[in-house]
Structure 1
């Protein structure tokens, strides 16, 4: 009879997995991205360092664009000259001192100069990289005075104004666990609990583990929380009848 005790304990543990299991979760930022260079140029200034906060629109990286600005000035001068030629030719065409073909050629040259002006202005617009959202710098990948190539990664940034909680639950919980459901999470690093509201349910159930990923949002502003922290989800299925 004594040997049956471990078997009974194992059976009870198997019968209560949903209530007894510990749900681990990790905080993640709502938005995060890697900012990259769109032009080849020398880094003139890094606006924010690792860990520093920034506001949307703050200049995070500025490039030395002396050549690009000179090319823009040249394009604008050429456009100004082309527009003056068109204006003069329009008057001469009225006086029938030039032919229509000559006037059309001047119009085409003006359009080409205008296109060069727009292209040069677009390049100069890439000489500074503004923050796409409010947040913090995660990692600085380049240094001031370093020459970078188009597409080269510069900064990893994230928006931690609204932190999300990702974790996995048994798929059978979807009968009662719906977006909007409120619960709490105990974060290890702070030893505190925080309110959470479920926002999303994964689109696919894992057929092996019969589980699904869900996401909740921390309710309120808690400066002590950071992306990457983890903890225990205080959530259990409702008691049966």
Structure 2
């Protein structure tokens, strides 16, 4: 009797199951793939294709400077304070120049004496009672006296500091009755009649960006949007960032705007750029 027959029969279901699994796998592999899932396009703003380009910028005055003392003297008057407005040519600082006035008076007296001496020597030459050398020395002394008068008048003109332009005081660095040295800072002043914005834009914008073009700026402090126009375009492109510096000016006068405020610059023409 063959004892291996029951063993072979018992292995038959296992072989059939293995053959069936292999066929199913082959059928699955050969089946064509279904259509790819439809992916909704990203939002235009997420792709960077929005119709407006926003850039951060800060309001700055067109002109600003630090007024400094040109002489060493005591401040006698300081009619402007921080935040106050002034007109072009208005007095900003006045110094006590009593000493300088005395020096000018002395120089004028010496000039008058030199002129009288020159006249006397010229008269003596006409009368053959004097020499030409005395005349030349007297003329030289008169020239020296005139130079002294001019120098003292120049110093005295520095006793009053006038505004070089209309604007406002941003910082007062000294007080009345304070003695200051030549070159010491007195006031920081700005011309806030025109407020500007300076910022960087991509250099590829140069194909359409022109001076006079419109833009808008939304100021954080006021939560309002203001019109502006490009005023200057930089002369050099930064080779690393591929950007160029531009400047714009607020188009109009808005009393609530002051230098130092910041916001978002919106450039309408920056579509797909």
Asked if the contact 1:18/1:170 (under 8 Å) is kept, the reply is no
The structure-2 alpha-carbon separation of the partners of 1:32 and 1:17, relative to structure 1 and needing over 3 Å to count, comes to: farther
Say yes or no: does 1:226 pair with 2:258: yes
Say yes or no: does 1:101 pair with 2:139: no
Partner of 1:183: 215
The structure-2 alpha-carbon separation of the partners of 1:193 and 1:92, relative to structure 1 and needing over 3 Å to count, comes to: same
Partners of 1:51 and 1:224 in 2: CA distance: 14
Give the superposition deviation at 1:192: 2.1
Asked if the contact 2:53/2:270 (under 8 Å) is kept, the reply is no
Name which of 132, 147, 152 aligns with 2:179. Answer: 147
Asked if the contact 2:51/2:271 (under 8 Å) is kept, the reply is no
Q: Size of the alignment, in residue pairs?
A: 236
Give the superposition deviation at 1:238: 5.4
The structure-2 alpha-carbon separation of the partners of 1:214 and 1:19, relative to structure 1 and needing over 3 Å to count, comes to: same
Asked if the contact 1:173/1:237 (under 8 Å) is kept, the reply is no
- Bigger radius of gyration, 1 or 2? 2
Partners of 2:67 and 2:76 in 1: CA distance: 16
Partners of 2:44 and 2:239 in 1: CA distance: 24
Give the superposition deviation at 1:35: 0.7
Q: Give secondary structure in 2 for the equivalent of 1:163.
A: strand
Deviations 1:178-231 (A, max 9, x none): 111122222222222222111101222222322221101112221111111112
Name which of 74, 77, 95 aligns with 1:45. Answer: 77
For structure 2, the 5+ residue unaligned runs are 1-35
Instruction: Describe how 1:64-79 pairs up with structure 2 within 5 A.
Output: 64-79=96-111
Partners of 2:251 and 2:42 in 1: CA distance: 39
**TM-score between the two structures when normalised by the length of structure 1:** 0.90
Q: Give secondary structure in 2 for the equivalent of 1:204.
A: strand
Name which of 224, 247, 271 aligns with 1:192. Answer: 224
Say yes or no: does 1:163 pair with 2:195: yes
Partners of 1:12 and 1:193 in 2: CA distance: 21
**TM-score between the two structures when normalised by the length of structure 2:** 0.80
Name which of 222, 242, 246 aligns with 1:210. Answer: 242
Give the superposition deviation at 1:16: 1.8
Deviations 1:118-156 (A, max 9, x none): 001101111111111000001011111111111111110
For structure 1, the 5+ residue unaligned runs are none
RMSD over aligned Cα atoms? 2.3
Say yes or no: does 1:84 pair with 2:113: no
